[in-house]
Chains A and B, each alone.
Chain A
Amino acid sequence: MTALSLKNIDKNFDDIQVIRNINLDIQPGEFVVFVGPSGCGKSTLLRMVAGLEEISSGEFWIGDRRADQLPASERDIAMVFQSYALYPHMTLAENIGFPLRLGKQPKEIIDKKVQDIASILRLEQLLDRKPGQISGGQRQRVAIGRALARDPKVILLDEPLSNLDAALRLEMRIELAKLHKQLEATMIYVTHDQVEAMTLADRIVILNNGEIVQIGSPLDLYTKPVNTFVAEFIGSPKMNLFPAMVADNLTNGTKINLIGSSDKLMINTAVNSNQGLQLGIRPEHMTPSNEGAIKGIVTSAEQLGSDTYIYFNSEAKDQAVARLDGISAVRTGENISFNASQDHYHLFTSEGNRIN
């Protein structure tokens, strides 16, 4: 049985359609991440699951129960807000125990549960404090604790790490992943940060303009993006897309030309010869080579220690980027050329859809 099921879900605000035809099944224990740029509808979708926004049309099921008319308080879904939304006048213990107190649980059970959660989240020493007296990372943990208190069917997390500094964000990301393993809870996580999506998700749902663009495991999205939007969204620095055209149709594949370059590249896919193309190559798959078909002039180099990002203007595309391991001695203004293995080619139509 699926934990949650969304069928043909739409959402309109007045005349504006913000969510279009969403179909998604989420399995029990799954960690699903909604990711997409600002305004893509991911938070609206999450709020519809929570019951904080109405669904304009379509069906929403929790287990085998139709739930789109069910009030938020009866869905047995907990949520962690970006702002944490802790009750400022209650102690941390009271915050975590609040859903249980509303559920009229006996005091001993509430106290025990609060203690258990506090020990999982390392909050034992802080339970008598109020939210104003603790740090951002601790508040984040309390918000998660409150969501766990009721053992809800699903836990929703709306950009929970975006108010934390970089170091704390990394730490909490690892903790969240651990927590998910430990509790085996069904979680839906919203973020605009593709690194969070890649590291946490069992499955990623990529949204753009209110529609699902692609659903898949993090590596599926990385290795087989369905279009240039996904290709550029997943991976950092983002994928290079070189405009290209067919030069020759051969029996064992196609020869293509990057626009502006005379060198030809061989691909093993058959392509219609009038077809405009885009060849995608990830920065980490670019290898410097004297005979490389992708030539350009270095405009800048970022030395990260572990890697070097080399930005260059190629014949086919300005501001292409290559990611090299370790420290590289490349200088601005230098001529440079790259090769990439055919296995790492991503071929798209000029409209941006994947070919093959």
Chain B
Amino acid sequence: MVRFPKATTAWLLLTPMMTIIIGVVGYPLIKTVYYSFTAAHLASPATTDRWVGFKNYLKALGNTKFLDSIENTAYFVSVSVSAEIVIGVLVALLLNQAFKGRTLLRALLILPLALPTVVNAMMWRLIYGPDFGALNALLSQLGLMAEYQSWLGDPDLALWMVAIADIWKNFPLVALITLAALQTISKDLIEAATLDGANAWQRFWAVVFPAIIAPVSVALVLRTIEAFKVFDIIYVMTRGGPADSTKTVSFHVYQEAFAYMRIGSGASYALIVVLISALLIATYLWLIKKQGNTA
């Protein structure tokens, strides 16, 4: 039998996967970089080779609509991710207490996560419906609201409402990660802190918080990366409207490249988004590495 050195074996085994990755990720990425320097237009194949240098990038950075979409995205990310973290951690702390029905509640927690994003978006669009929506019905029947409201039709409200739908779907991920971390905390530590004279708040800061901060920060970065590229929920619920108030960067890129068919400038937008995502991913990798060092 032929014996290869370990490194050769590793490369041999990795080759099929590498080939696929190069095919479906590498090639399109290079092609996108190329397009971003051209005036390519989907409707006129002759334009694919029309070299324009950095013109697309300069235009992108001067385009107020694109900059607005970055602002919208940042707004969406900070609202939804911070709420997901706070709600997720609180829910995890509750589900870590011993009470009857805890297992059932823990199982229910998975449900929103298991829902496809598109289904979640459709569901919330129905709930927010201006005429027959459950939210209007609930609030008016409770006497909290005199008139029906068009939740997704109001530019000041729409992004918040989309964020709520996103929070509902994604806080369980944070809760699950936190719950797993909470379960690794030895009961002895909590009891030791109690005997050392710590009250509930002091026990949280001295024992619980240090044990969950690392996994929670990983969840934070993961959710930030995900939320930054939000697309499907926007596509289903608002299509970026009203008045572009929910238009995020991914949606902007989609419109530019596929609705307006301007592949060249769409590619330059996309690469700017990739750059920002890369920074977030680098933060994530740095956090993981840092945890590996302290563990």
Contacts and interface: CB of A to CB of B under 8 A. Distances in A.
Interface of A: 50-52, 72-75, 77-79, 81-83, 85, 87-89, 98-99, 102-103, 146, 150
B125 to A, nearest CB: 45
A151 B85 CA distance: 41
Contacts, number: 59
16 contacts: A72-B194, A73-B195, A73-B198, A73-B199, A78-B195, A78-B196, A81-B188, A81-B192, A82-B188, A89-B211, A98-B206, A99-B196, A99-B197, A102-B197, A102-B198, A102-B202
Contacts of B188: 81-83, 85
Given A81-B188, A98-B206, A103 B195 contact: no
B108 to A, nearest CB: 27
Given A83-B186, A89-B210, A102-B202, A52 B194 contact: yes
A85 B194 contact: no
B192 A85 contact: yes
Would you list the 9 A-B pairs with minimal beta carbon distance, nearest first?
Answer: A85-B192, A85-B188, A99-B196, A89-B210, A102-B197, A81-B188, A73-B197, A83-B188, A72-B194
Contact of A79 (B195, B207, B210): B195
B191 interface: yes
A129 to B, nearest CB: 14
The listed residue with most A CB atoms (<10 A of its CB), out of B191, B195, B211, is B195
A50 B210 contact: no
A292 B197 CA distance: 62
B61 interface: no
B175 to A, nearest CB: 23
A103 B189 contact: no
The listed residue with most A CB atoms (<10 A of its CB), out of B186, B193, B196, B202, is B196
Contacts of A51: 194-195
B191 A81 contact: yes
Nearest to A74: B197
Contact of B195 (A50, A83, A88): A50
The listed residue with most B CB atoms (<10 A of its CB), out of A82, A85, A89, A146, is A85
B197 A85 contact: no
A79 B192 contact: yes
Given A52-B194, A72-B194, A87 B206 contact: yes
Interface size class of chain B, counting residues whose CB lies under 8 Å from the partner chain: 10 to 19
Contacts of A88: 210-211
B143 to A, nearest CB: 44
A325 B202 CA distance: 58
Contact of A146 (B191, B196, B198, B207): B196
Contacts of B191: 50, 52, 72, 79, 81, 85
B194 A73 contact: yes
Interface string B150-191: 000000000000000000000000000000000000101101
Contacts of A75: 195
A85 B186 contact: yes
Contacts of B186: 83, 85
Contacts of A98: 193, 196, 206
B189 A87 contact: yes
Contacts of A73: 194-199
Contacts of B211: 88-89
A347 B186 CA distance: 47
Nearest to A99: B196
Contacts of B210: 87-89
B192 A102 contact: no
Contacts of B202: 102
The listed residue with most B CB atoms (<10 A of its CB), out of A50, A74, A78, A102, is A102
Contacts of A150: 196-197
B221 to A, nearest CB: 20
A82 to B, nearest CB: 8
Contacts of B193: 87, 98
A73 to B, nearest CB: 5
A85 B194 CA distance: 12
Nearest to B194: A72
A88 B192 CA distance: 13
A83 B190 CA distance: 12
Contacts of A81: 188, 191-192
A72 B198 contact: no
Contacts of A52: 191, 194-195
A99 B202 CA distance: 11
Interface in B74-105: none
A262 to B, nearest CB: 58
A83 B185 CA distance: 12
